[in-house]
Copies of this chain bind each other. A is one copy, B any other.
């Protein structure tokens, strides 16, 4: 059966902690339920250049500890950067954003993101501060 074309967008806010992974899987599936999504594509865009998105292991918290350690080694704060006027954590935050994702597109099946059992969707805060971060949500597909 051919359903008609439906799309819906919203802005999601996440209050973050310094250097941390914030799982947003449940909030995203809740939003999909609210809008009556059935089958389609959910796209996320984090509207910042010092925070980013990733799909990662959702069970053992030490995985995120190790990921943060590696990101800090790939983009260390204790080196010289040309861009240093916004604090020692700012340029590393841009690098970490470049090496992960600013956007994600996730298929939605039977009203939920079709993630694997061990997958969660995360916003990663790369700054040393608590921040209010905004993520654009965009769904296109069929609805109830």
- A interface with B by C-beta (< 8 Å): 2-7, 9, 39-41, 43, 45, 47-49, 54-57, 60, 62-63, 65-67, 70, 74-75, 81-83, 85, 91, 94-95, 97-107, 109, 114-116, 118-119, 134, 136, 138, 140-142
- CB contact between A67 and one of B9, B62, B95 (< 8 Å): that residue: B95
Closest to A47 in B: B116
**Dominant SS among interface residues on chain A:** mixed
Q: Which residues of B contact A134 (CB under 8 A)?
A: 116
With the chains together, A5 CA to B104 CA distance in Å? 22
Asked whether, in the complex, the Cβ of A107 is within 8 Å of the Cβ of B4, the reply is: no
Q: Which residues of B contact A141 (CB under 8 A)?
A: 7, 140
Asked whether, in the complex, the Cβ of A106 is within 8 Å of the Cβ of B103, the reply is: yes
Given A99-B99, A141-B7, A141-B140, residue A119 in contact with residue B47 (CB < 8 A):
yes
Asked whether, in the complex, the Cβ of B9 is within 8 Å of the Cβ of A138, the reply is: no
Asked whether, in the complex, the Cβ of B55 is within 8 Å of the Cβ of A49, the reply is: yes
